[in-house]
Structure 1
């Protein structure tokens, strides 16, 4: 496989002691972003089922503690 002109320039800069532009790249440039997993239908239903807070289901009792 042939080397691109950009790769040749990067290698030349590294040989001359200059900073290699590969080192300027973010760590996310090499991350494989295809590993995402979407939620299943059951997970989506479970998320919607428990959306409301617990206080909605509980009784509206009021406790007053006097010391």
Structure 2
């Protein structure tokens, strides 16, 4: 197959030592889009369940806050 006129110009510029614009296109920066996983249904449900809980990472915490105020006489 024949090369297009634009491709011939790019190849000629590359032979002359200039930058080929093809090298600037589609830079994924180390990301492989085929390995990206979408969240499963259980992950989405779990995320929604823990979305608004306050400090749920502490053991024995049910999300409530206790404030101690001493009585001053």
- The two structures have a TM-score, normalised by structure 1, of 0.58
Structure 1 portions without partners, runs of 5+:
none
Gaps of 5+ in 2: 57-61
So what's the TM-score if we normalise by structure 2?
0.55
Pairwise CA RMSD: 3.2
Q: Is the 8 A contact 2:54 2:64 kept in 1?
A: no
Task: Extract structure 1 runs of 4+ deviating beyond 4 A.
Answer: none
Deviation at 1:8, TM superposition (A): 1.8
> Which structure: greater helix fraction?
1
CA distance in 1, matches of 2:9, 2:37: 38
Counterpart of 1:54 in structure 2 is 55
In the TM superposition, what is the alpha-carbon distance from 1:44 to its structure 2 partner?
A: 0.4
